[in-house]
Chain A
Amino acid sequence: MSEHEETASLLGDDVTPIEFSKGLIGLEEWHRFVMISHPAGGPLRLLKSLQDARMSLIVANPYQVMPNYKLTLSEADIQTLGYAGPPGVIEPNHQTLDISCIISVQEEPFGVTANLLGPLVVNKETGLGVQVILAESAYSARHPVVNPASAKTKSPVEEV
């Protein structure tokens, strides 16, 4: 059984492979991923490597993290995505482009951050993905999603 089959059978639903031809920034050796929704639903998804079962990233919808979030694609980005549309600002809930941002968790003090500076864009028609760098924006790579001081939820890291 290949790793892909294994991942697909674990998750039980139809998973379309995504090719990040340039890899993710700093993680250039991983190209092939699947984007998985949680069986129980919810706004977060898992971007899982098809090359290494241990390698995965949690992603969120950046428009949920920041309602007025603005993503601009460069000419280089649309080429990588094989996207036919013009470069420029991409509207939320785009028909063809799936936009997400990587979530990371700090344990001490507990905090959840979203990388709004380097969002992920996947062209659903071509199955190609790219990590965009919004160089002209003032977005942070560590945008706080939950203020540790106000978070009443117990650290999920401890429960794992």
Chain B
Amino acid sequence: MLVLGRKPNESLLIGDDIVITVLSVEGDRVKIGISAPGNVRILRQELYDAIKEENLRATKLAAPANEALLTSLQDLFQANE
């Protein structure tokens, strides 16, 4: 990992069209501004991790029994309507 020290209002360039600016530092929080093209996905890592965890859980739990499980769950969803 490349490690660079930056002060508030200093920026970094990634490639030709991504600019990362440190806006402020207050205690243990750093405010970062990112300017990037619309087709570049910017995400907090926790969101990605939460979805990954759910995908793995849903797959693992459902794997062998999914078709039977599906039948049982249909009723819960119908009752929920």
Residues of chain A touching chain B, judged by Cβ–Cβ distance below 8 Å, are 24-27, 38, 40, 42-44, 46, 54-58, 60, 64-65, 74-76, 79, 87, 102-105, 107, 112-113, 115, 117-118, 131, 133, 135, 141-142, 145-146, 151, 153, 156-157, 159-160
Which residues of chain A are within 8 angstroms of B47 by Cβ–Cβ distance?
117, 133, 135
Q: How far is the CA of A46 from the CA of B2 in the complex (A)?
A: 43
Q: How far is the CA of A74 from the CA of B40 in the complex (A)?
A: 9
Residues of chain B touching chain A, judged by Cβ–Cβ distance below 8 Å, are 38-44, 47-48, 50-59, 61-81
Which residues of chain B are within 8 angstroms of A146 by Cβ–Cβ distance?
76, 80
User: B73 touches which one: A25, A79, A102, A112 (CB < 8 A)?
Assistant: A112
Which residues of chain B are within 8 angstroms of A112 by Cβ–Cβ distance?
73, 76
User: B51 touches which one: A105, A141, A145 (CB < 8 A)?
Assistant: A141
Q: Mostly helix, strand, loop or mixed at chain B's interface?
A: helix
Which residues of chain B are within 8 angstroms of A141 by Cβ–Cβ distance?
50-51, 53-54
**7 CB < 8 A contacts A-B:** A44-B70, A54-B63, A104-B62, A141-B50, A141-B53, A145-B77, A156-B76
Known: A55-B63, A64-B81. 19 other contacts (CB 8 A): A25-B55, A26-B56, A38-B71, A40-B74, A43-B81, A58-B66, A58-B73, A64-B77, A74-B41, A102-B54, A102-B58, A112-B73, A117-B50, A117-B51, A118-B54, A133-B43, A142-B50, A159-B68, A159-B72
Give min CB distance, A105 to chain B, whole Å: 6
